[in-house]
Amino acid sequence: MIDGLMRKPSVAVPLVLRRLRAKLDDWREAQKNYNWLWHEQCEKNHAKWLASQAAAVRQVDSRQMRSKTLLNEADTAAEEVRVSCKQ
């Protein structure tokens, strides 16, 4: 191919361009297919990630909603109000 470009560029260049355009079309089609596959995989992985995070969120919520925690927060808030009123 390189030899043909050197000897007769007027004949070789159109052939090379045609092949390069065909290869570019092939790559674009392959990229379209891969983008679809990657999108699908990312959605699956995101759903799995959300499911794994749900357990941690539930655990934090259950700790925060315990009566002991709520009473401590209420006592802290009341103390802050008392201190701000005295000043």
Answer yes or no: is pLDDT of 74 > 90: no
Query: 59 or 26: whose pLDDT is higher?
Result: 26
pLDDT at 87: 67
The pLDDT tens digits for 6-22 are 888 888 899 999 999 99
Length of the chain, in residues:
87
Show me where the domains of the chain are located. 2-86
- C-alpha 16/C-alpha 2 separation (Å) is 10
Q: What is the CA radius of gyration of the chain?
A: 33
The pLDDT tens digits for 19-37 are 999 999 999 999 998 998 8
For 2-12, b/e burial (b = at least 16 CB within 10 A) is: eeeeeeeeeeb
